[in-house]
Chains A and B, each alone.
Chain A
Amino acid sequence: MKIHEYQGKLIFAKYGVPIPKGYPAHTVLEAEAVAKRLIEETKSNVVVVKAQIHAGGRGKGGGVKVAKGGAAEAKELAQKILGMQLITHQTGPAGQKVRHLYIEQGLEMVKELYLGAVIDRDRRRIAFMASTEGGMEIEKVAEHTPEKILTVHIDPIVGFSAFQARELAFGLGLQQYSKETVGKFVKLMGALYEVMIKEDCSLVEINPLVVLKNGDVVALDAKVNMDDNAEFRHKAQWAEVFDKDEEDPVELEAKDVGLNYVSLDGNVGCLVNGAGLAMATMDIIKHAGEKYGVAPANFLDVGGGANQEQVTKAFSMILKSDKVKAIFVNIFGGIMKCDVIAMGVVAAAKNLGLKVPVVVRLEGTNVELGKKILRESGLAIIPADTMADGAAKIVAAVTGGSK
């Protein structure tokens, strides 16, 4: 789960990671009011208006603007940014609508750094990465100048140790800014480790982490991702910060009934059991159909233990999509019984009507029973013996047999 910068900064504040003063705003009036309040509190006319969307690269896309002319200018900027379709390298060409703003104290910095914590799955440790190349896309730094990224790994049993933070601090040359800067960085990194562990994050990134004139270190940005598997430990809290406007509505609908769904650009709806088989089904459709413009419209894993209602729901979701020109149901029943799938498919098809061809490949537990249910349903379902056979029949169905 992703959360907004302002929500991440609230968590930072709770654990003692220094942040600039700031307030969220959801309307232009609110933006003006909190800008006024900030200017009074900080005795400075400089505020930053920041678009809150779940994607990086907002600055470059025009979603982060500095107002030096007080609350009136902040209001103007808020007017421009709120409601805009913000396009960044992470949003895709359509961009993402800005529904929330964060109004923050403008700070003058002497240096922009990068500090991030990730799960390093190859080393099976939390890795902290730091760089003097702050404010830039860290992926680019990693690609072009990997020597500029310093990394330490934290032993999960020992926990955070100050010496590891000092290693990064001196590596970044923080001693040049003030006597206290190294110590401040060590404290900040310790707090960030606490955030990672206690809040069950899969990623915490500060880009930029800035050094101020007085030698303080402050997190100007906050990118915080939660590990979905840990939701049971944070139910109420995560429900509060979850922003459904940032999610694909169909993916949300699927999640509500316990299905794994990802929208794709193609024209073949897929209903599969198991994540690996679901991915492989997408792959084989593309493999067979690429030349003819046939590609998967979705990833859908109904899981190992889906009941008939879930299958019906899943099939209905695919049937409702306009872009779907054919549907491939691919099941290798292990725990999932083929007859349960067949009944779910038949129920949804009878309910909504079959407007596009459906190819069904059933294999495994109760396969004969499943096939019988489909045969006797009276529905025009095209049976397939193997995945390859199914993919070929899908391509023929979409292209009207002209391939």
Chain B
Amino acid sequence: MSIIVGKNTAVVVQGITGSAGGFHAKQCMEYGTQVVAGVTPGRGGESFEAKVPVFDTVKQAVEKTGCNASLIFVPPPGAADAILEAFDAGLELVVCITEGIPVIDMLKVRRRLETLNGKTRLIGPNCPGIITPTECKMGIMPGHIHKRGHIGVVSKSGTLTYEAVGQLTALGIGQSTCIGIGGDPVAGMDFVDVLEMFNADPDTHGVIMIGEIGGGAEERGAEYIKAHMKKPVAAFIAGTTAPEGKRMGHAGAIISGGKGTAAAKIDALLSAGCKVAPTPSDMASTLKSMLS
């Protein structure tokens, strides 16, 4: 087992005819992901790579192909709308890779998500996606660095996820599922949501959690770990040296009014019983030291 995605995930790619969407749809297919449909309004009837039918709407894609998950590469002006369309079509999972969606748009998306009562999960935006090694890659991560196994990885940062996965694989430790929840201030799944699922997944034996400055998601994750987590969690928080008031690449990675510092997050995680890697080079070895 694993969480959220696996062999039965049938993917529609929204924005499949764009350059990013097309490139990554192909990469996902090569990895073995079932990409069963594409959606680009106005391009219905075409086919992608002579294999995947393209539809005008997500609803048509669901009716014709039975897809149950969407991977979104729609550019920022239309991205929030694309997410809402995927919600409305009743998909179980929506993964939005797009970076640069206005926060006012995401407030509405998030509010709509809350009315769906857990029927649909949203991952991202501004994230690398999700992968269950050897079964399903829904995102832009390099597939070849992964190895099937029992460690869950959850992270706000794409490249730091790759770093952690690379270290795990080098130590011979495989992964159950790796999830990038993204670096935007308002998004879908949070650390807590993912930790709950790893906790309940018999195939996941430990977790690497990678946070960064800004917001309070890491602190909420720490509270959950303290109260409920039955598995070891090794953490890393990026941005110990980041100055206050500066946006560090991600829209959400900013310390403001003294809030959202790495130090506060590290304290919360330590007091929740996590081990915190002293440097980003020690993420996998820190977890390894906690596995029995």
Q: Which residues of A contact B (CB under 8 A)?
A: 90, 119, 121-122, 124-126, 139, 142, 155-157, 196-197, 200, 202, 227-230, 232-233, 260, 262, 264, 272-288, 295-296, 299, 301, 304-305, 332-335, 363-365, 386-388, 391
- Chain A minimum-CB-distance residue to B140: A335
Interface contact B112-A157, CB-CB below 8 Å: yes
Encode contact with A along B224-250: 1 for CB under 8 Å, 0 otherwise: 000000000000101111110111111
Interface contact B213-A121, CB-CB below 8 Å: no
Cβ-neighbour of B243 out of A155, A264, A283, A363 (below 8 A) = A264
Between-chain CB contacts (< 8 Å), 25 pairs: A90-B245, A121-B185, A122-B216, A122-B220, A156-B111, A229-B102, A229-B251, A232-B76, A262-B243, A275-B157, A276-B156, A276-B238, A277-B159, A279-B157, A280-B236, A281-B280, A284-B281, A287-B278, A299-B249, A301-B249, A334-B142, A334-B159, A363-B166, A386-B281, A387-B279
Given contacts A274-B160, A334-B158, A279 and B279 within 8 Å (CB-CB): no
Q: Which residues of B contact A (CB under 8 A)?
A: 20, 76-77, 100-104, 107-108, 110-112, 128, 140-142, 145, 155-163, 166, 183, 185-186, 210, 212-217, 220, 236, 238-243, 245-253, 257-258, 262, 278-282
Q: Give the distance to chain B from A259, nearest Cβ to Cβ, in Å.
A: 10
Interface contact B142-A280, CB-CB below 8 Å: no
B residues less than 8 Å from A125 (CB atoms): 107
B residues less than 8 Å from A156 (CB atoms): 104, 107-108, 111
- Chain A minimum-CB-distance residue to B158: A274
Interface contact B281-A388, CB-CB below 8 Å: yes
Cβ-neighbour of B185 out of A119, A272, A273, A284 (below 8 A) = A119
Interface contact B241-A332, CB-CB below 8 Å: no
- Chain A minimum-CB-distance residue to B246: A262
Cβ-neighbour of A283 out of B108, B241, B247, B253 (below 8 A) = B241
Interface contact A276-B103, CB-CB below 8 Å: no
Q: For the complex, what is the distance from the CA of A281 to the CA of B61, rounded to whole Å?
A: 43
Q: Give the distance to chain A from B161, nearest Cβ to Cβ, in Å.
A: 8
B residues less than 8 Å from A157 (CB atoms): 108, 111-112
Q: Give the distance to chain B from A12, nearest Cβ to Cβ, in Å.
A: 18
Query: Given contacts A229-B103, A334-B158, could you give 16 more A-B pairs where the C-beta distance is less than 8 Å?
Result: A126-B107, A156-B108, A157-B111, A229-B251, A233-B77, A260-B249, A275-B248, A275-B249, A275-B253, A282-B242, A283-B240, A283-B262, A287-B240, A287-B279, A334-B142, A391-B279
Given contacts A227-B103, A264-B241, A295-B241, A280 and B248 within 8 Å (CB-CB): no
- Chain B minimum-CB-distance residue to A259: B249
Interface contact A200-B104, CB-CB below 8 Å: yes
Q: For the complex, what is the distance from the CA of A124 to the CA of B243, rounded to whole Å?
A: 25
- Chain B minimum-CB-distance residue to A251: B246
For the complex of A and B, list the 6 residue pairs with the smallest distance between their C-beta atoms, beginning with the closest: A276-B157, A275-B249, A274-B159, A388-B281, A277-B159, A230-B102
Interface contact A124-B110, CB-CB below 8 Å: yes
Interface contact B103-A332, CB-CB below 8 Å: no
Q: For the complex, what is the distance from the CA of A274 to the CA of B240, rounded to whole Å?
A: 16
B residues less than 8 Å from A90 (CB atoms): 245
Interface contact A364-B108, CB-CB below 8 Å: no
Cβ-neighbour of A388 out of B77, B166, B246, B279 (below 8 A) = B279
Q: For the complex, what is the distance from the CA of A135 to the CA of B278, rounded to whole Å?
A: 42
Q: Give the distance to chain A from B255, nearest Cβ to Cβ, in Å.
A: 11
Given contacts A286-B240, A333-B142, A278 and B162 within 8 Å (CB-CB): no
Interface contact B258-A139, CB-CB below 8 Å: yes
- Chain A minimum-CB-distance residue to B281: A388
Interface contact A387-B163, CB-CB below 8 Å: yes
Q: Give the distance to chain A from B212, nearest Cβ to Cβ, in Å.
A: 6
- Chain B minimum-CB-distance residue to A300: B249
B residues less than 8 Å from A276 (CB atoms): 155-161, 183, 210, 212, 238, 249-250
Q: Give the distance to chain A from B71, nearest Cβ to Cβ, in Å.
A: 15
Q: For the complex, what is the distance from the CA of A332 to the CA of B257, rounded to whole Å?
A: 32
Q: For the complex, what is the distance from the CA of A157 to the CA of B114, rounded to whole Å?
A: 11
B residues less than 8 Å from A200 (CB atoms): 102, 104
Q: For the complex, what is the distance from the CA of A229 to the CA of B140, rounded to whole Å?
A: 21
Interface contact B162-A332, CB-CB below 8 Å: yes
Q: For the complex, what is the distance from the CA of A274 to the CA of B212, rounded to whole Å?
A: 13
Q: For the complex, what is the distance from the CA of A296 to the CA of B238, rounded to whole Å?
A: 14
B residues less than 8 Å from A142 (CB atoms): 257
A residues less than 8 Å from B166 (CB atoms): 332, 363-364
Q: For the complex, what is the distance from the CA of A124 to the CA of B142, rounded to whole Å?
A: 31
Q: Give the distance to chain B from A86, nearest Cβ to Cβ, in Å.
A: 17
Q: For the complex, what is the distance from the CA of A280 to the CA of B241, rounded to whole Å?
A: 9
A residues less than 8 Å from B155 (CB atoms): 276
A residues less than 8 Å from B280 (CB atoms): 277, 280-281, 283-284, 387
Residue of A283, A286, A304 ringed by the most chain B CB atoms within 10 A: A283
B residues less than 8 Å from A332 (CB atoms): 159, 162-163, 166
B residues less than 8 Å from A287 (CB atoms): 240, 278-279
Interface contact A229-B76, CB-CB below 8 Å: yes
Given contacts A122-B216, A155-B111, A280-B238, A230 and B253 within 8 Å (CB-CB): no
Cβ-neighbour of A334 out of B103, B128, B236 (below 8 A) = B128
B residues less than 8 Å from A227 (CB atoms): 102-104
Interface contact A229-B241, CB-CB below 8 Å: no
Q: For the complex, what is the distance from the CA of A233 to the CA of B216, rounded to whole Å?
A: 29
B residues less than 8 Å from A229 (CB atoms): 76, 100-103, 251
Given contacts A230-B102, A275-B248, A387-B280, A334 and B241 within 8 Å (CB-CB): no
Interface contact A334-B141, CB-CB below 8 Å: yes
Q: For the complex, what is the distance from the CA of A157 to the CA of B105, rounded to whole Å?
A: 11
Q: Give the distance to chain B from A288, nearest Cβ to Cβ, in Å.
A: 8
Q: For the complex, what is the distance from the CA of A139 to the CA of B257, rounded to whole Å?
A: 6
Interface contact A275-B250, CB-CB below 8 Å: yes
B residues less than 8 Å from A363 (CB atoms): 163, 166
Q: Give the distance to chain A from B138, nearest Cβ to Cβ, in Å.
A: 14
A residues less than 8 Å from B100 (CB atoms): 229
- Chain B minimum-CB-distance residue to A274: B159
B residues less than 8 Å from A280 (CB atoms): 157, 160, 163, 236, 238, 279-280
